[in-house]
Structure 1
Amino acid sequence: MTTNEQQVRTLDARALKALAHPLRVRIYDLLSERGPQTASSLAALIGETSGATSYHLRALASHDLIREVPDRGTARERWWERPKGRVDMPGPTEAMSPSSRAAAQIVTTEFLRLRHQTLMEYINRPESEQPDGWKDAGLVMTTMLDVTPEQMAELKQELTAVVDAAVERYRGQESLPGTRRVSLRAEVFDLPAASSRGITNQE
Protein backbone atom coordinates (compact mmCIF):
# COMPACT_ATOMS: atom_id res chain seq x y z
CA MET A 1 0.00 0.00 0.00
CA THR A 2 1.49 3.34 -1.04
CA THR A 3 0.62 6.99 -0.55
CA ASN A 4 1.69 9.47 -3.23
CA GLU A 5 4.48 11.83 -4.37
CA GLN A 6 7.93 11.15 -5.80
CA GLN A 7 10.52 10.15 -3.20
CA VAL A 8 9.76 6.74 -1.66
CA ARG A 9 10.13 5.80 1.99
CA THR A 10 9.41 2.23 3.04
CA LEU A 11 8.34 2.08 6.67
CA ASP A 12 10.51 -0.13 8.84
CA ALA A 13 9.13 -2.30 11.63
CA ARG A 14 9.54 0.40 14.31
CA ALA A 15 7.74 3.08 12.29
CA LEU A 16 5.00 0.63 11.32
CA LYS A 17 4.43 -0.27 14.97
CA ALA A 18 4.34 3.42 15.91
CA LEU A 19 1.60 3.98 13.33
CA ALA A 20 -0.36 0.88 14.38
CA HIS A 21 -3.13 2.65 16.28
CA PRO A 22 -6.47 3.60 14.68
CA LEU A 23 -6.29 7.19 15.93
CA ARG A 24 -2.73 7.62 14.64
CA VAL A 25 -3.71 6.27 11.24
CA ARG A 26 -6.64 8.72 11.21
CA ILE A 27 -4.35 11.64 12.15
CA TYR A 28 -1.81 10.64 9.49
CA ASP A 29 -4.59 10.35 6.92
CA LEU A 30 -6.03 13.76 7.82
CA LEU A 31 -2.62 15.42 7.52
CA SER A 32 -2.31 13.90 4.04
CA GLU A 33 -5.85 14.90 3.08
CA ARG A 34 -6.14 18.38 4.62
CA GLY A 35 -2.57 19.59 5.02
CA PRO A 36 -0.98 21.05 8.18
CA GLN A 37 -3.05 20.89 11.37
CA THR A 38 -2.72 21.56 15.09
CA ALA A 39 -3.62 19.21 17.93
CA SER A 40 -6.72 21.33 18.51
CA SER A 41 -7.91 21.33 14.90
CA LEU A 42 -7.35 17.57 14.64
CA ALA A 43 -9.24 17.05 17.91
CA ALA A 44 -12.21 18.95 16.46
CA LEU A 45 -12.13 16.88 13.26
CA ILE A 46 -11.82 13.54 15.03
CA GLY A 47 -13.92 14.18 18.12
CA GLU A 48 -11.08 13.61 20.60
CA THR A 49 -9.40 15.81 23.18
CA SER A 50 -6.46 17.95 22.12
CA GLY A 51 -4.43 16.17 24.81
CA ALA A 52 -5.00 12.84 23.07
CA THR A 53 -4.19 14.16 19.59
CA SER A 54 -1.10 15.95 20.94
CA TYR A 55 0.16 12.69 22.47
CA HIS A 56 -0.31 10.77 19.22
CA LEU A 57 1.25 13.57 17.17
CA ARG A 58 4.41 13.39 19.27
CA ALA A 59 4.50 9.60 18.87
CA LEU A 60 4.24 9.92 15.09
CA ALA A 61 6.88 12.65 15.01
CA SER A 62 9.31 10.52 17.02
CA HIS A 63 9.49 8.12 14.07
CA ASP A 64 9.64 10.88 11.42
CA LEU A 65 6.18 9.99 10.15
CA ILE A 66 5.19 13.64 10.56
CA ARG A 67 7.09 16.82 11.40
CA GLU A 68 6.49 20.22 12.93
CA VAL A 69 5.86 22.98 10.39
CA PRO A 70 8.82 25.39 10.56
CA ASP A 71 8.15 29.08 11.33
CA ARG A 72 4.48 28.48 12.10
CA GLY A 73 2.62 28.38 15.37
CA THR A 74 3.72 28.98 18.94
CA ALA A 75 5.01 26.92 21.85
CA ARG A 76 1.36 26.46 22.91
CA GLU A 77 -0.08 25.77 19.44
CA ARG A 78 2.24 23.75 17.21
CA TRP A 79 1.46 22.95 13.58
CA TRP A 80 2.20 19.50 12.13
CA GLU A 81 2.44 18.17 8.59
CA ARG A 82 3.17 14.96 6.72
CA PRO A 83 6.46 15.29 4.84
CA LYS A 84 6.21 15.23 1.06
CA GLY A 85 7.15 11.98 -0.61
CA ARG A 86 5.71 8.57 -1.35
CA VAL A 87 5.32 6.22 1.59
CA ASP A 88 5.25 2.46 1.12
CA MET A 89 3.39 0.76 3.97
CA PRO A 90 4.07 -2.97 3.77
CA GLY A 91 1.07 -5.23 4.22
CA PRO A 92 1.30 -8.22 6.55
CA THR A 93 3.52 -11.01 5.24
CA GLU A 94 4.58 -14.39 6.58
CA ALA A 95 8.20 -13.20 6.60
CA MET A 96 7.42 -10.62 9.30
CA SER A 97 7.71 -11.24 13.01
CA PRO A 98 4.34 -11.80 14.73
CA SER A 99 4.40 -8.30 16.25
CA SER A 100 5.28 -6.64 12.93
CA ARG A 101 2.61 -8.64 11.13
CA ALA A 102 0.01 -7.57 13.70
CA ALA A 103 1.08 -3.93 13.29
CA ALA A 104 0.86 -4.19 9.50
CA GLN A 105 -2.63 -5.69 9.79
CA ILE A 106 -3.82 -2.82 11.98
CA VAL A 107 -2.38 -0.15 9.68
CA THR A 108 -3.64 -1.76 6.46
CA THR A 109 -7.10 -2.46 7.84
CA GLU A 110 -7.56 1.06 9.18
CA PHE A 111 -6.28 2.79 6.03
CA LEU A 112 -8.59 0.72 3.84
CA ARG A 113 -11.52 1.34 6.21
CA LEU A 114 -10.92 5.08 5.97
CA ARG A 115 -10.56 4.85 2.20
CA HIS A 116 -13.91 3.09 1.91
CA GLN A 117 -15.52 5.56 4.31
CA THR A 118 -14.30 8.49 2.21
CA LEU A 119 -15.63 6.85 -0.95
CA MET A 120 -19.07 6.23 0.56
CA GLU A 121 -19.26 9.81 1.86
CA TYR A 122 -18.57 11.01 -1.70
CA ILE A 123 -21.17 8.68 -3.23
CA ASN A 124 -23.83 9.67 -0.69
CA ARG A 125 -23.09 13.41 -0.73
CA PRO A 126 -26.27 15.42 -1.53
CA GLU A 127 -26.26 17.39 -4.78
CA SER A 128 -26.81 20.58 -2.79
CA GLU A 129 -23.36 20.08 -1.25
CA GLN A 130 -21.60 19.69 -4.61
CA PRO A 131 -19.76 22.89 -5.60
CA ASP A 132 -20.36 24.33 -9.05
CA GLY A 133 -18.44 22.42 -11.70
CA TRP A 134 -17.76 19.40 -9.47
CA LYS A 135 -21.06 17.51 -9.76
CA ASP A 136 -19.96 15.04 -12.47
CA ALA A 137 -16.21 15.48 -12.13
CA GLY A 138 -15.53 12.27 -10.22
CA LEU A 139 -15.18 8.71 -11.50
CA VAL A 140 -15.95 5.46 -9.70
CA MET A 141 -15.28 2.50 -11.98
CA THR A 142 -14.68 -1.21 -11.57
CA THR A 143 -14.00 -3.75 -14.30
CA MET A 144 -12.75 -7.34 -14.46
CA LEU A 145 -9.86 -8.52 -16.63
CA ASP A 146 -8.32 -11.90 -17.42
CA VAL A 147 -4.54 -11.46 -17.48
CA THR A 148 -1.28 -13.26 -16.77
CA PRO A 149 1.04 -12.20 -13.93
CA GLU A 150 3.32 -10.55 -16.47
CA GLN A 151 0.44 -8.58 -17.99
CA MET A 152 -0.73 -7.45 -14.56
CA ALA A 153 2.78 -6.26 -13.72
CA GLU A 154 2.78 -4.28 -16.97
CA LEU A 155 -0.64 -2.80 -16.16
CA LYS A 156 0.55 -1.88 -12.66
CA GLN A 157 3.53 -0.05 -14.20
CA GLU A 158 1.28 1.83 -16.64
CA LEU A 159 -1.16 2.90 -13.91
CA THR A 160 1.69 4.01 -11.67
CA ALA A 161 3.10 6.11 -14.51
CA VAL A 162 -0.30 7.80 -15.01
CA VAL A 163 -0.56 8.63 -11.31
CA ASP A 164 3.04 9.88 -11.11
CA ALA A 165 2.47 12.10 -14.15
CA ALA A 166 -0.65 13.60 -12.56
CA VAL A 167 1.20 14.28 -9.30
CA GLU A 168 3.95 16.10 -11.20
CA ARG A 169 1.54 18.00 -13.46
CA TYR A 170 -0.54 19.46 -10.63
CA ARG A 171 2.17 19.90 -8.02
CA GLY A 172 2.01 23.20 -6.10
CA GLN A 173 -1.54 24.15 -7.13
CA GLU A 174 -3.09 23.99 -3.66
CA SER A 175 -3.37 27.77 -3.35
CA LEU A 176 -4.86 28.41 -6.83
CA PRO A 177 -8.50 29.64 -6.93
CA GLY A 178 -11.01 26.91 -7.75
CA THR A 179 -8.83 23.98 -6.71
CA ARG A 180 -9.96 21.27 -4.30
CA ARG A 181 -8.09 18.30 -2.84
CA VAL A 182 -9.17 15.14 -4.67
CA SER A 183 -8.53 11.47 -3.98
CA LEU A 184 -6.94 9.54 -6.87
CA ARG A 185 -7.01 5.78 -6.41
CA ALA A 186 -5.50 3.02 -8.50
CA GLU A 187 -5.99 -0.62 -7.54
CA VAL A 188 -5.18 -3.78 -9.41
CA PHE A 189 -5.02 -7.16 -7.68
CA ASP A 190 -5.74 -10.80 -8.41
CA LEU A 191 -8.96 -12.39 -7.19
CA PRO A 192 -9.11 -15.80 -5.46
CA ALA A 193 -9.08 -18.80 -7.77
CA ALA A 194 -12.54 -19.99 -8.83
CA SER A 195 -12.19 -23.20 -6.84
CA SER A 196 -11.47 -21.31 -3.61
CA ARG A 197 -14.64 -19.26 -4.13
CA GLY A 198 -16.72 -22.43 -4.37
CA ILE A 199 -17.25 -21.99 -8.11
CA THR A 200 -16.68 -24.74 -10.63
CA ASN A 201 -15.52 -23.71 -14.08
CA GLN A 202 -17.64 -25.20 -16.86
CA GLU A 203 -16.49 -25.48 -20.41
Structure 2
Amino acid sequence: MTTNEEGRTLDSGALKALAHPLRVRIYDLLSERGPQTASTLAALIGETSGATSYHLRALASHDLIREVAGRGTARERWWERPKGRINLPGPDEQMSPSNRAAAQIVTSEFFRLRHRTLMDYLNRSSADVPEGWEDAGLVMTTMLDLTPDQMGAVKEELTAVIDAAIERYRGQETLPGTRRVTLRAEIFDLPTANSRQTMPEE
Protein backbone atom coordinates (compact mmCIF):
# COMPACT_ATOMS: atom_id res chain seq x y z
CA MET A 1 0.00 0.00 0.00
CA THR A 2 1.19 3.54 -0.75
CA THR A 3 -0.37 6.56 0.90
CA ASN A 4 0.13 10.27 0.26
CA GLU A 5 -1.82 13.50 0.56
CA GLU A 6 -3.82 12.49 -2.50
CA GLY A 7 -5.04 9.27 -0.86
CA ARG A 8 -4.23 5.60 -0.99
CA THR A 9 -3.30 3.90 -4.23
CA LEU A 10 -4.09 0.20 -4.03
CA ASP A 11 -1.13 -2.12 -4.36
CA SER A 12 -1.39 -5.43 -6.19
CA GLY A 13 -2.42 -7.37 -3.09
CA ALA A 14 -5.25 -5.01 -2.17
CA LEU A 15 -6.33 -4.77 -5.79
CA LYS A 16 -6.60 -8.54 -6.11
CA ALA A 17 -8.45 -8.76 -2.77
CA LEU A 18 -11.03 -6.29 -4.06
CA ALA A 19 -11.31 -7.92 -7.49
CA HIS A 20 -14.61 -9.70 -6.93
CA PRO A 21 -18.00 -8.17 -7.82
CA LEU A 22 -19.47 -8.96 -4.40
CA ARG A 23 -16.49 -7.38 -2.60
CA VAL A 24 -16.76 -4.23 -4.68
CA ARG A 25 -20.47 -4.12 -3.79
CA ILE A 26 -19.72 -4.58 -0.08
CA TYR A 27 -17.04 -1.89 -0.22
CA ASP A 28 -19.44 0.44 -1.99
CA LEU A 29 -22.20 -0.19 0.56
CA LEU A 30 -19.86 0.54 3.46
CA SER A 31 -19.01 3.86 1.78
CA GLU A 32 -22.66 4.65 1.10
CA ARG A 33 -24.37 3.45 4.29
CA GLY A 34 -21.67 3.46 6.92
CA PRO A 35 -20.78 0.59 9.29
CA GLN A 36 -22.50 -2.75 8.69
CA THR A 37 -22.38 -6.32 9.93
CA ALA A 38 -22.19 -9.46 7.81
CA SER A 39 -25.90 -9.97 8.49
CA THR A 40 -27.03 -6.48 7.49
CA LEU A 41 -24.90 -6.64 4.34
CA ALA A 42 -26.34 -10.06 3.51
CA ALA A 43 -29.86 -8.63 3.73
CA LEU A 44 -28.93 -5.70 1.47
CA ILE A 45 -27.16 -7.82 -1.13
CA GLY A 46 -29.29 -10.95 -1.04
CA GLU A 47 -26.47 -13.29 0.01
CA THR A 48 -25.89 -15.45 3.08
CA SER A 49 -24.16 -13.94 6.09
CA GLY A 50 -21.53 -16.67 5.75
CA ALA A 51 -20.64 -15.39 2.27
CA THR A 52 -20.52 -11.73 3.30
CA SER A 53 -18.48 -12.62 6.40
CA TYR A 54 -15.92 -14.42 4.21
CA HIS A 55 -15.60 -11.46 1.86
CA LEU A 56 -15.39 -8.98 4.75
CA ARG A 57 -12.42 -10.88 6.18
CA ALA A 58 -10.73 -10.87 2.78
CA LEU A 59 -11.15 -7.10 2.50
CA ALA A 60 -9.95 -6.56 6.07
CA SER A 61 -6.80 -8.61 5.46
CA HIS A 62 -5.59 -5.86 3.11
CA ASP A 63 -6.79 -2.93 5.26
CA LEU A 64 -9.53 -2.06 2.80
CA ILE A 65 -11.99 -2.15 5.69
CA ARG A 66 -11.63 -2.41 9.47
CA GLU A 67 -13.62 -3.56 12.45
CA VAL A 68 -15.42 -0.79 14.34
CA ALA A 69 -13.71 -0.48 17.70
CA GLY A 70 -15.94 -0.97 20.75
CA ARG A 71 -19.00 -2.01 18.79
CA GLY A 72 -20.54 -5.42 18.34
CA THR A 73 -19.68 -8.83 19.77
CA ALA A 74 -17.55 -11.79 18.79
CA ARG A 75 -20.57 -13.18 16.92
CA GLU A 76 -21.75 -9.91 15.37
CA ARG A 77 -18.86 -7.74 14.27
CA TRP A 78 -19.32 -4.30 12.76
CA TRP A 79 -17.16 -3.21 9.82
CA GLU A 80 -16.44 0.17 8.29
CA ARG A 81 -14.52 1.64 5.40
CA PRO A 82 -11.72 3.93 6.64
CA LYS A 83 -12.17 7.53 5.60
CA GLY A 84 -9.92 8.88 2.88
CA ARG A 85 -9.57 8.76 -0.87
CA ILE A 86 -8.86 5.52 -2.67
CA ASN A 87 -7.16 5.64 -6.06
CA LEU A 88 -8.02 2.71 -8.31
CA PRO A 89 -5.27 2.02 -10.84
CA GLY A 90 -6.73 1.41 -14.27
CA PRO A 91 -5.63 -1.54 -16.37
CA ASP A 92 -2.10 -0.81 -17.61
CA GLU A 93 -0.02 -2.67 -20.17
CA GLN A 94 2.92 -2.49 -17.75
CA MET A 95 1.00 -4.55 -15.18
CA SER A 96 1.31 -8.29 -14.90
CA PRO A 97 -1.56 -10.13 -16.60
CA SER A 98 -3.10 -11.06 -13.21
CA ASN A 99 -2.90 -7.48 -11.91
CA ARG A 100 -4.36 -6.14 -15.15
CA ALA A 101 -7.26 -8.60 -14.92
CA ALA A 102 -7.87 -7.57 -11.29
CA ALA A 103 -7.86 -3.88 -12.23
CA GLN A 104 -10.37 -4.54 -15.00
CA ILE A 105 -12.73 -6.35 -12.63
CA VAL A 106 -12.56 -3.62 -9.98
CA THR A 107 -12.96 -0.66 -12.33
CA SER A 108 -15.72 -2.30 -14.37
CA GLU A 109 -17.75 -3.23 -11.30
CA PHE A 110 -17.17 0.12 -9.62
CA PHE A 111 -18.44 2.07 -12.62
CA ARG A 112 -21.32 -0.36 -13.18
CA LEU A 113 -22.50 0.32 -9.63
CA ARG A 114 -21.89 4.02 -10.09
CA HIS A 115 -24.05 4.09 -13.21
CA ARG A 116 -26.79 2.09 -11.47
CA THR A 117 -26.83 4.59 -8.61
CA LEU A 118 -27.17 7.46 -11.08
CA MET A 119 -30.01 5.76 -12.97
CA ASP A 120 -31.83 4.98 -9.71
CA TYR A 121 -31.60 8.68 -8.85
CA LEU A 122 -32.84 9.80 -12.26
CA ASN A 123 -35.73 7.32 -12.35
CA ARG A 124 -37.06 7.57 -8.79
CA SER A 125 -40.58 8.86 -8.36
CA SER A 126 -41.36 12.18 -6.71
CA ALA A 127 -42.96 10.28 -3.83
CA ASP A 128 -39.56 8.82 -2.96
CA VAL A 129 -37.84 12.22 -2.72
CA PRO A 130 -37.62 13.53 0.87
CA GLU A 131 -39.14 16.93 1.54
CA GLY A 132 -36.68 19.71 0.88
CA TRP A 133 -34.53 17.60 -1.47
CA GLU A 134 -36.65 17.99 -4.63
CA ASP A 135 -34.23 20.30 -6.48
CA ALA A 136 -31.06 19.68 -4.49
CA GLY A 137 -29.25 17.52 -7.05
CA LEU A 138 -27.48 18.40 -10.27
CA VAL A 139 -26.65 16.23 -13.28
CA MET A 140 -24.82 18.19 -15.94
CA THR A 141 -22.85 17.27 -19.03
CA THR A 142 -21.05 19.58 -21.42
CA MET A 143 -18.43 19.35 -24.16
CA LEU A 144 -15.28 21.44 -24.35
CA ASP A 145 -12.33 21.71 -26.72
CA LEU A 146 -9.19 21.73 -24.59
CA THR A 147 -5.48 21.09 -24.73
CA PRO A 148 -3.95 18.61 -22.26
CA ASP A 149 -2.65 21.52 -20.14
CA GLN A 150 -6.07 23.19 -20.09
CA MET A 151 -7.79 19.95 -19.10
CA GLY A 152 -5.23 19.52 -16.34
CA ALA A 153 -6.03 22.99 -15.04
CA VAL A 154 -9.78 22.26 -15.01
CA LYS A 155 -9.09 18.96 -13.23
CA GLU A 156 -7.14 20.79 -10.53
CA GLU A 157 -9.96 23.33 -10.10
CA LEU A 158 -12.59 20.57 -9.74
CA THR A 159 -10.40 18.68 -7.29
CA ALA A 160 -9.91 21.82 -5.19
CA VAL A 161 -13.67 22.41 -5.01
CA ILE A 162 -14.32 18.81 -3.93
CA ASP A 163 -11.49 18.79 -1.38
CA ALA A 164 -12.80 22.05 0.11
CA ALA A 165 -16.31 20.57 0.42
CA ILE A 166 -14.94 17.43 2.08
CA GLU A 167 -13.05 19.50 4.63
CA ARG A 168 -15.92 21.93 5.25
CA TYR A 169 -18.56 19.28 5.92
CA ARG A 170 -16.45 16.57 7.52
CA GLY A 171 -18.03 14.87 10.55
CA GLN A 172 -21.64 15.91 9.90
CA GLU A 173 -23.08 12.41 9.58
CA THR A 174 -25.02 12.68 12.87
CA LEU A 175 -26.46 16.17 12.34
CA PRO A 176 -30.27 16.36 11.94
CA GLY A 177 -31.40 16.92 8.36
CA THR A 178 -28.30 15.49 6.70
CA ARG A 179 -28.36 12.67 4.16
CA ARG A 180 -25.51 10.82 2.50
CA VAL A 181 -24.99 12.30 -0.97
CA THR A 182 -22.70 11.27 -3.81
CA LEU A 183 -20.49 13.88 -5.48
CA ARG A 184 -19.12 13.03 -8.90
CA ALA A 185 -16.62 14.83 -11.09
CA GLU A 186 -15.49 13.52 -14.45
CA ILE A 187 -13.27 15.01 -17.10
CA PHE A 188 -11.53 12.98 -19.79
CA ASP A 189 -10.70 13.12 -23.47
CA LEU A 190 -13.06 11.32 -25.82
CA PRO A 191 -11.69 8.41 -27.87
CA THR A 192 -12.65 9.94 -31.21
CA ALA A 193 -11.03 12.80 -33.07
CA ASN A 194 -12.51 16.27 -33.02
CA SER A 195 -15.85 15.97 -34.82
CA ARG A 196 -15.33 19.23 -36.66
CA GLN A 197 -12.28 17.72 -38.30
CA THR A 198 -13.79 14.38 -39.24
CA MET A 199 -17.32 15.29 -40.34
CA PRO A 200 -17.69 15.62 -44.12
CA GLU A 201 -18.39 19.04 -45.49
CA GLU A 202 -22.02 19.77 -46.30
TM-score relative to the length of structure 2? 0.94
d(CA) in 2 for partners of 1:77 and 1:194? 55
Q: Which residue of 1 aligns with 2:129?
A: 130
* Higher relative contact order (Cα pairs below 8 Å, separated by 6+ residues): 1
Q: Which residue of 2 aligns with 1:173?
A: 172
Tell whether 2:24 aligns with 1:25.
yes
SS in 2 for 1:166: helix
Gaps of 5+ in 1: 1-5
Tell whether 2:148 aligns with 1:149.
yes
**Does the 8 A contact of 1:35 with 1:82 survive in 2?**
yes
Aligned pairs (5 A) from 1:11-90: 11-90=10-89
d(CA) in 1 for partners of 2:97 and 2:155? 29
d(CA) in 1 for partners of 2:153 and 2:198? 29
SS in 2 for 1:194: coil
SS in 1 for 2:198: coil
Q: 1:85 Cα shift?
A: 1.1
Tell whether 2:186 aligns with 1:187.
yes
Q: 1:32 Cα shift?
A: 0.5
Deviations 1:126-148 (A, max 9, x none): 10111100011100000000000
Runs ≥4 residues deviating over 6 A: none
d(CA) in 2 for partners of 1:7 and 1:191? 25
d(CA) in 1 for partners of 2:175 and 2:193? 49
Structure 2 counterpart of 1:133, which letter? G
**Does the 8 A contact of 1:194 with 1:201 survive in 2?**
no
**Does the 8 A contact of 1:20 with 1:103 survive in 2?**
yes
How large is the Cα RMSD of the aligned pairs? 1.4
User: Across the two proteins, how many residue pairs are aligned to each other?
Assistant: 196
d(CA) in 2 for partners of 1:194 and 1:7? 31
Structure 1 counterpart of 2:163, which letter? D
- Equivalent pairs: percent with the same residue? 78
Q: Which residue of 2 aligns with 1:117?
A: 116
**Does the 8 A contact of 1:11 with 1:89 survive in 2?**
yes
Q: 1:120 Cα shift?
A: 0.4
d(CA) in 1 for partners of 2:59 and 2:190? 34
SS in 2 for 1:26: helix
Q: 1:200 Cα shift?
A: 2.2
d(CA) in 1 for partners of 2:191 and 2:63? 37
d(CA) in 2 for partners of 1:180 and 1:174? 8
d(CA) in 1 for partners of 2:139 and 2:8? 29
d(CA) in 2 for partners of 1:117 and 1:66? 23
Q: 1:7 Cα shift?
A: 5.9
d(CA) in 2 for partners of 1:174 and 1:104? 31
Q: 1:84 Cα shift?
A: 1.1
d(CA) in 2 for partners of 1:129 and 1:35? 21
Q: Which residue of 2 aligns with 1:3?
A: none
Structure 2 counterpart of 1:46, which letter? I
Q: Which residue of 1 aligns with 2:94?
A: 95
